[in-house]
Amino acid sequence: MDAPRPRPILITSIWAEAMATLVLDNRALALRIDGQALAFYENGERRGSLPIKLLERVILQGDLSLSAGVLTRLAENGTAVLMLSKRHSRRLAVVLGPAHNDAAVRIAQAQRLFDQAWCAWWARRQIAAKTRAQVRVLKQAMAKRPDCHYPLARAVTDLEHLCSHMDSPQQPPSVERLRGFEGAAARAYFQGLTVLFPPSLGFTGRSRRPPRDPVNACLSLVYTLLHFEAVRAAHMAGLDPLLGFYHRPAFGRESLASDLIEPLRPHADQWVWRLFQNRTLRAELFSRDGQACLLGKTGREVFYQHYEAHFKPVRRLLQRQCRRLAAYFRQQGTPFLEEDEA
């Protein structure tokens, strides 16, 4: 595999797409730098290579062998690296490329953390967009599943009622009230979403640590990948991924990335539903480890190939949003820098 191809391909658990993504999920693999390429070795035998300049992101899962020099070279190239745990697909670490050098953006971003009105506006924008997206997902499901019309219609009614409160110009909700609206919306939404999946999957609502059924295992993985995309987009735009406005800064959490993906979660939920609806993913592709439900290696091959094909527009949307947000902060932060330098 010495030249990239236009579509994702699989060789010894390697997925690659020109100018995009490399997913490595094979414990027998070793990664080495070979000139301007990343070379793959399996049991000591070279299996292929890819030009480093073509890689935007690399996802590593399992006990792969690589050196700090490989990570350094990828970072120098601006390639973001996401490391996932071997079986549970939990995020272990993220390696990003060089940071943006415009301090004005981060100064203004940090200042907005203390602007309660701005934080409330931002939070309302993100959560209202998420709730409207939840309504769209359930309405589209109603057209495909008339047998589920009643529970879906009831959930839609509850969500539209919450939307009307969030959109009220007379009394815009505070961040604290928005958290209550979001929790109520989540309850209504998942009561509708669960009826779309066959009872054999055991999906009765959202469970996180650990995910207890195949649907939740996929939701956790796709949310992890979306969060990684948001961290990368924020970093590329010069924003600080740690400084969020709805999700307040917390130790070890990229809160801005959490803010950014809120409106995208229903889109991811709908995608997961379609994977099961079309039987692209099936119960036999999952296993159990205590209370945790795990997506097996064959299932991960299917999952990643479909994820890469489906979420390209979402990446572009996140990058565009981050550029716009950074441009706004840059305009706000530049006068502060000029005054300080004078």
Token representation of residue 7: 């579509």
DSSP 3-state of 301: helix
In Å, what is the CA distance from 117 to each residue of 28, 58, 112, 245, 263? 53, 38, 9, 11, 20
> Residue 146 pLDDT > 70, yes or no?
yes
31-35, 62-66, 212-216, 237-241: least confidently modelled range? 62-66
Nearest to 254 by CA among 52, 66, 121, 91: 91
pLDDT in tens, 14-49: 555 555 788 888 777 888 898 898 888 888 888 888
> Residue 109 pLDDT > 90, yes or no?
yes
Those residues whose C-beta lies under 8 Å from the C-beta of residue 50, and which sit 6 or more positions away, are 1, 4, 16, 22, 37, 38
pLDDT in tens, 267-302: 999 999 999 999 999 999 999 888 889 898 888 888
Average model confidence (pLDDT) across the chain: 86
38, 47 contact by CB (below 8 A): no
So what's the pLDDT on residue 16? 52
| Total-model pTM | 0.88
